[in-house]
A and B are shown apart, each in its own frame.
Chain A
Amino acid sequence: MTLTYPRLLAAAALAAVVEFAAFEWRYRDLIFLASPAAVVAAAPAPTVARYFDTALARPRATRTTLEHLVLVATARRDQSAAIATLYRLVQTDPRDPHLRLRLADALRQSGRLNEARVHYREVIAHPEEAK
């Protein structure tokens, strides 16, 4: 079979489709959770929970992904899941006072005042970063 440019293009297109399928299989949870929060919240609860847990368990979950998860958890009124995600989020950048403040607020709202106090103090202890 001779190598021609149309054939090369067809092969490239096929490879791109196959790769997208592989990507979809590998990151199905992230693709689903990247949908708008309202769409995610409207999905069946077990599906959302499964994808949520899979995404949260990823060792290299990015800040953007974790932000998505917080939104999803908030839309589902799952406070404990939101706090667990915020803890992961704080780990991505421990010096970010805004993340810590969000975590402290969430802890306070769920009645975990002792934990919230620790984080509020942490924010106050580094006012230059809060600026």
Chain B
Amino acid sequence: MHTTSPTHQLKPGGDAPFDADSTLYYLDSPRRRLFNHSVVLVGLAAYALYLGYRTCCTMNPATPIFSGLLLAAEIHGFFSLFFFFFQIWNRRGRTVPAPDPDVTVDVFITTYNEDADLLRQTIRGALAMRHPHRTFILDDGRRPHVRALAEELGCEYLTRSTNEHAKAGNFNNAFLQTSGTLVATFDADHVPRADFLERTIGFFRDPKVALVQVPQQYHNLDSLQHKIDHSTRRIYSEQDVFFELVCPGKDHWNAAFFCGTGAVLRRTALEPYGGLVVGSITEDMHTCLELHSAGWKSVYLNEMLVTGLAPMDFKTFQAQRLRWAEGNLKIIKSINPLTCPGLTLGQRICYIASMYHWTIGIPKMLFYLSPPWILFTHAFPIVNFGPTFLTIYAFFLVSLVLSYRILSRGTGRLFMDEFFNMVTAFTLIRATNRMLFGRMPAKFVVTDKRGSGRPSVAEALPHIALIVFSGLALEWGVLSLTYAVSDDWFGSGATMFWTLYNVALAGGAVRLALRPPQQRLSCRFDASLPVEVKWDGCPAAEVGITRNISDSGCALLWKTRLAKQTQGSLVLHIGNRQLRCRAEILSVRADAGSWVEHGVRFVDLPIADVDFINDAVFNMIVPRLFRHLSRPALSVRLLRYLVKTATRRFAARPNRVTASVPVRLEHARREWLVTSVDISHTGLGLVMPVELPAGASVHVTVFGAHGTWDRQATVIRTERVPCSTPSLQTWTTGLLLSAADLREAVDLEVAA
């Protein structure tokens, strides 16, 4: 994902109308594209050869149904791979054209039952977007406090007497009462960045563009679909492959589709349908299919311009996936991408691929149930299961893994993808079942943004059943070998290994379902912010640092252990602003190195300060967090390390280590309390709220866990951190310390 895409230079004074296709550019070089295409062809050819061998040489005539089903599941996998490769054949980026200053925009925030504090963040984010616009809160819950919130914040409130057609109906109700040329739409939890409109509406200079979609990123990184590895600074999100690979690939085929939120639509394109197309629970894809069929263009801009909340628990996650799967599959009953007029071949295949993806549940279930079935019945679906088969299978598997890894450019992680296939398999079977045998009427289920607040045992029962079934099959297999019921040690061993792999995946799914529910009312975001606190009874204020923060409290790292319920006056330094409030210690947690972590609650924080913290979170902390966690893949890091090591021999620069400690910096009779980002024996990296000139002499005081030390330093570099809000702008600043006798002090800090 780009932090910022390149700017598109409009031709001055030309008569030719702007064409949005001119903003497209290839994300890969011609040589890399040629390589990618070769990998695609080799991967598909290897799969096809394997299937040919399976069909001709390994079908077991003694178990025709079982053999046939397993082969059918493998053929399904071949088409999955084909569709995936087709969609990512060429990935495209977009340059961003300047917005038309005269275009009018209506911003819709759809809500039904979400909390007011959640809505508050979204409304404030929407109101703060640059470019003139009108913001509407569309409340299907008809709640007086939401009306009051709208009035307080200065946006318009719309509601209706029924909830017909759920979200689409809500949107359409507002659509008929408004008149802006463009309509931007957000879910209640999706907070837009201040430059959202500036970055997206320029594409509508092309009169054929009906939709601009941006990726859905989620700021609650402790959600069910995220996995963060802080040591490698890598983040996995279950939807990364879709938004990072598939959507830029779809954009190549003019098949990027509407994802329901974080999008801008052209009013005239929607007018024939009275807004969004109704009659489906995935109105977004259905609408886009109709728009493409009518000849409109769509644009996918891969920039993080809006962030929302991902499901926090298993139940909510499964409910969301069931709705998506059911809706996507049922669209084919209303409009068939293969036969509907107006679509290009590429668009048809992309839409079929999107629907086909949701049918993966049944073949996956066959793969999960086959090994235990084999162990119970000793009926092998594959004959000639020997070294020849294993060699061919290994060749096929290696080609599959390699082609996926190469083409997913570090985004796709096969094991994690397999894990989430296990998590969703039973839900996708339910969706397929509903599509085939019907369930009337299909009901739109609003995703619970806070989670259900309890472990989802019921939702994990299918996985538990699979583990039990597999475990019993393993025992049966061992007993069978022990008492010579079966003497196929090779086949049984391979089947047991396969069973154990599936049990591990299912066990992970159960663990995910049973994980403790989120207790906090608001999300906490990892952020190292300097804090000054004067605890009651202490003579003077001291300095600490946050580990994470929310609008109701923070995790505070402090040099000494403090008692619970201690209160004090806290000054939080965010950018150029200092936020003052009373604070109370609620908990004392395990030591983090030499620092002690305390759970701190902000006492009676004024609403203006709550808003300020949220502004800082969504415009400064979250983007910084995503940048921090988007470390390149291991191969790239290894290459960089080798280059760095080779050049360091000549530069002789000490290695810098990531370390966040509070630092007071004085320059030109001004002082700032800031945070370090890295540290070495001779230098220091800081995040500064001002831009200091290179060569400036400054005085720094470092507040370490093992004492405070101060030195003169010289600014050697400053670099602007991309930020959509000028008031929260920061710069990373590199300092060269004037005394090189800091080895011991720095080592202590790094250890802490």
Contact = CB atoms under 8 A, between A and B. Distances in A.
Given A19-B475, A62-B487, A63-B487, 5 more contacts: A15-B472, A16-B472, A20-B475, A34-B484, A62-B486
Contacts of A3: 455, 457, 514
B479 interface: yes
Contacts of B472: 15-16, 19
Interface string A52-94: 0000000010111100100000000000000000000000000
Interface size, A (range): 10 to 19
B378 A60 contact: yes
A54 to B, nearest CB: 13
Interface string B195-217: 00000000000000000000000
A30 B483 contact: yes
Interface string B443-476: 0000000000001010000000000100110011
Interface string A16-28: 1001100100010
12 contacts: A2-B457, A3-B514, A12-B471, A15-B472, A16-B471, A16-B475, A19-B476, A23-B483, A27-B483, A63-B487, A65-B484, A65-B487
By Cβ-Cβ distance, the 7 closest A-B pairs, closest first, are: A64-B484, A62-B487, A65-B484, A64-B487, A30-B483, A23-B479, A3-B457
A10 interface: no
Interface size, B (range): 10 to 19
Interface in B366-403: 378
A25 to B, nearest CB: 12
Nearest to A8: B464
Contact of A30 (B457, B475, B485, B514): B485
B515 to A, nearest CB: 13
A130 interface: no
Contacts of B455: 3
Interface in A14-52: 15-16, 19-20, 23, 27, 30-31, 34
Contact of B483 (A19, A31, A63): A31
Interface string B469-508: 0011001100100111111000000000000000000000
B654 to A, nearest CB: 48
Nearest to B482: A34
Contacts of B483: 23, 27, 30-31, 34
A3 B468 CA distance: 14
A23 B484 CA distance: 12
Contacts of A30: 483-485
Interface in B152-209: none
Contact of A62 (B471, B476, B485): B485
B479 A20 contact: yes
A20 to B, nearest CB: 7
B315 to A, nearest CB: 14
Contacts of A16: 471-472, 475
Nearest to A24: B479
Interface in B512-539: 514
Contacts of A34: 482-484
Contacts of A19: 472, 475-476
B476 A68 contact: no
B546 to A, nearest CB: 34
Nearest to A11: B468
Contacts of B485: 27, 30, 62, 65
A22 to B, nearest CB: 9
A62 B472 CA distance: 22
A107 B455 CA distance: 69
A60 B479 CA distance: 16
Nearest to B461: A3
B62 to A, nearest CB: 11
Contacts of A65: 484-485, 487
B487 A23 contact: no
B486 A23 contact: no
Given A20-B479, A60-B378, A68 B484 contact: yes
B314 to A, nearest CB: 13
B742 to A, nearest CB: 49
A35 to B, nearest CB: 10
A27 B475 CA distance: 14
B468 A15 contact: yes
A92 to B, nearest CB: 10
Contacts of B484: 30, 34, 62, 64-65, 68
- With most chain B CB atoms within 10 A of its CB, the pick from A2, A30, A62 is A62
Contacts of A2: 457
A16 B478 CA distance: 12
B595 to A, nearest CB: 33
A20 B482 CA distance: 12
B700 to A, nearest CB: 51
A15 B457 contact: no
B479 to A, nearest CB: 5
A17 B378 CA distance: 21
A93 to B, nearest CB: 12
A60 B455 CA distance: 46
Contacts of A27: 479, 483, 485
A63 B485 CA distance: 10
A31 B476 CA distance: 13
A16 B378 CA distance: 19
Contacts of B468: 12, 15
Contacts of B479: 20, 23, 27
B484 to A, nearest CB: 4
B110 to A, nearest CB: 36
A65 B378 CA distance: 15
Contacts of A23: 476, 479, 483
Nearest to B513: A3
Contacts of A64: 484, 487
A14 B24 CA distance: 62
